[in-house]
Structure 1
Amino acid sequence: MTTHTLQTPDGTLTYDVRGLLPTADGRPPLFMVGSPMGADGFATLASLMSDRTVVTYDVRGLGRSVRTDGSDRLSPELNAADQHRIIEALGAGPVEVFASSGGAVSALALVASHPEDVTLLVAHEPPCLAVLPDAEAAFAAERAVHATYASRGWAAGMAHFIAMTSIQGEISAEFASAPAPDPAVFGMTMPDDGSRGDPLLSGVSDAITAFRPDVDALRAAPTEVVLAAGIESEDTLTWRTTGAVAALLGQEVVVFPSNHGGFISSEGGYGGQPEAFAARLREVLDVGR
């Protein structure tokens, strides 16, 4: 693995390349994209795809990627612009992309704005709340999670987030005003350390969950777009957002093993089934939908 930095007008992006460029087998590099998760979250999956050249990076302002624009706000458009810069810097032509969670949202923005960059995109559980029929209640629930985090810290905020993302079916209007769950129910008993910079809980990623994919641009792109979700996520929030985006594109959801973090090893605290996940990803990359 080699680590590289790329200067931008408002910061420095850090990305890793596992394998050769140009690739030894002639296949495109496989770019793995997350948000707010950085490159380290893909370590297990990348190791299971060791026959491919794999590229990972840290989102601007997070991990090793430093921003100098004075903002902490994340958006799909900014992240997509950064991904475009990295793909150009690779100098290996268009890439295949596996993107998860907020990274899947930014990858949809990337394909819409730079369709020449990506031959195939597997968008895994993009949390595009705006496309849901219960979007208003979903956004109210999200704001309630942010408020819990702001007033009580990480454990309380994460417990509230887990409760929201575990709801089966539509989110009720009452969720936002209901008491937040006790974090001890989820085994989180750590005291509040006073920090409030978590990119998942603080609201700095609101533009990601509010993003509406450009359906016309995605349909016109030469890129094959695959919407994917883990079977254990069925009927939860990110399964439903994935299904809603897939429906806008006239597709069905491609089912993967495990959950929202199905490619992450159990050492990450949110264990999935990375070996089975990698095998399914390989199938989809090899044969598409």
Structure 2
Amino acid sequence: MPRPPSDTPSRPRGRRAPGQTGAVERVTTDDGVRLWTETTGPDRAAARPVLLLHGGPGLWDYLRPVAALLEEDGPVHRFDQRGCGRSDPSDDLRMARAVADIEALRRHFGHARWTVVGHSFGATLALAYAWTHPGRVASLVALNGTGLGDWRTAYRAERDRRATAEERARLGELAALARRSPGEEREFRTLAWCTDHADRARARRWAAEDAAAPHAINWSANRRLAAEADGWTETWVRARLRRITAPAAVVHGAGDPRPAGPPAALARALPRGRFQKLPAAGHHPWRERPDQLRELLRRAVAARADADDW
């Protein structure tokens, strides 16, 4: 009989020398798409590896600050999802294909199990990977995801409350443009993202920093993947969540304009889910509460499958 995956991960197969702190690599999937990846942190044999999944859908990896919170302990992998950022274009934009890409990365890096951390839409993708490959997930973190149930109604109301009438009008004008100049694109992103932060004094500056990324948003991926995930019924999702027996932290910034109720419901639906709210943190809690987030993440990474109280 095949041996079950060990709780102690294997080292990546010769990808980096022990102790090397960074490596950019393009990993080719079985359909020929090259995924941009970056690995940081020491390559220790006993360390549990971590994979970070960015949100969007259709964005690029922006989770380098999150990797920095964990990379003292072991390897942290990040990548641009197919069709996004520095990865190759692709017309195959399905959740099943995205899940297959994650599993291809796990095999490429040679890990038996790893901790999967997904932010925003990446939390949805992390859950889909975990219920498809439960034996490969040592622990899971859903970071500022949307959870179970309706979240858009409360989110839209809070988003609009945080923006001025002038900002809402300008955002509408920019969104309606068939094409935006580089300056208009940065302004569009800044206005769209500045309501995500709990620290309103610094929200505009943080959003502008993120908006300056030199990558195009893949709107096709955004529409297609979001529509697919939106089509999942809650009953269908709940049945699959029961397959995830790994420790699962559902982390939500109390100052995120998205409501806390749906993530809390997700934590209750997971067999070993734990809901954790970060006070005074927004949709990107590494901005406002990096120290508290580090402790939550390290606890999740250290959680063992056989621990009753992790």
Task: Tell me the CA shift for residue 63 of structure 1.
Answer: 1.5
CA distance in 1, matches of 2:298, 2:282: 17
Report the equivalent of 1:217.
240
Shift of 1:229: 0.8
Question: Do residues 151 (structure 1) and 158 (structure 2) align?
Answer: no
Q: Distance in 2 between matches of 1:207 and 1:6?
A: 27
Matching residue within 78, 101, 107 for 1:56: 78
| TM-score relative to the length of structure 1 | 0.69
CA deviation after TM superposition for structure 1 residue 158, in Å = 6.0
Aligned to 2:96: 77
Q: Compared with structure 1, are the counterparts of its residues 252 and 223 closer, same or farther at alpha carbon in structure 2 (3 Å cutoff)?
A: closer
Give the distance between the partners of 2:138 and 2:151, measured in 1 at CA.
33
The count of aligned residue pairs is 248
Distance in 1, matches of 2:297 and 2:249, equals 11
Distance 2:75 2:275 in 1: 26
CA distance in 1, matches of 2:66, 2:73: 12
**Alpha carbons of 1:241 and 1:159: their partners in 2 closer, same or farther (altered >3 Å)?**
farther
2:190–2:204 CA contact under 8 A, matched in 1: no
User: Which one-letter code corresponds to 1:97 in the other structure?
Assistant: V
Indicate the SS of the match to 1:27: coil
1:105 aligns with 2:128: no
Question: How far, CA to CA, are the matches of 1:19 and 1:136 in structure 2?
Answer: 40
Aligned partners of 1:76 and 1:211 also within 8 Å: no
Q: How does 1:30-179 map to 2 (within 5 A)?
A: 30-36=50-56, 37-39=59-61, 41-49=62-70, 50-67=72-89, 69-70=90-91, 73=93, 75-128=94-147, 131-133=148-150, 150-152=175-177, 154=185, 155=187, 159=191
**1:239 to partner: Cα distance:** 2.7
Deviation, 1:134, is 6.5
Do structure 1's residue 232 and structure 2's residue 255 form an aligned pair?
yes
**AA paired with 2:176?**
S
Contact between 1:13 and 1:57, CA under 8 Å: does it hold in 2?
Answer: yes
Question: In the TM superposition, what is the alpha-carbon distance from 1:218 to its structure 2 partner?
Answer: 2.6
Query: Do the aligned residues in 1 keep the contact of 2:278 with 2:289 (CA within 8 Å)?
Result: no
TM-align CA RMSD: 3.9
Give 5+ residue unaligned stretches, structure 2.
Answer: 1-21, 160-167, 198-202, 209-215, 304-308
Tell me which of 8, 11, 14 is aligned to 2:36.
Answer: 14
Q: Per the alignment, in what secondary structure is the counterpart of residue 241 of structure 1?
A: helix
d(CA) in 2 for partners of 1:150, 1:232:
25
**Pairing 1:270-285 to 2, within 5 Å after superposition:** 271-285=287-301
What TM-score do the two structures reach when normalised by structure 2?
Answer: 0.65
Query: Which secondary structure state, in structure 1, belongs to the residue aligned with residue 288 of structure 2?
Result: coil
What is the deviation of 1:203? 3.3
How many Å apart are 1:105 and its aligned residue? 0.6
Deviation string for 1:241-274 (max 9, x for gaps)?
Answer: 31232233365522235221112xxxxxxx3332
Letter in 2 for 1:29: P
Contact 1:104 1:124 (C-alpha < 8 Å) held by counterparts:
yes
SS of the aligned residue for 2:251 comes to strand
* Percent identical residues: 18
SS at match of 2:255: helix
Give the whole-Å Cα distance in 2 for the aligned partners of 1:59 and 1:4.
Answer: 14
Q: Distance in 2 between matches of 1:32 and 1:63?
A: 15
Distance 1:29 1:160, change over 3 A: closer
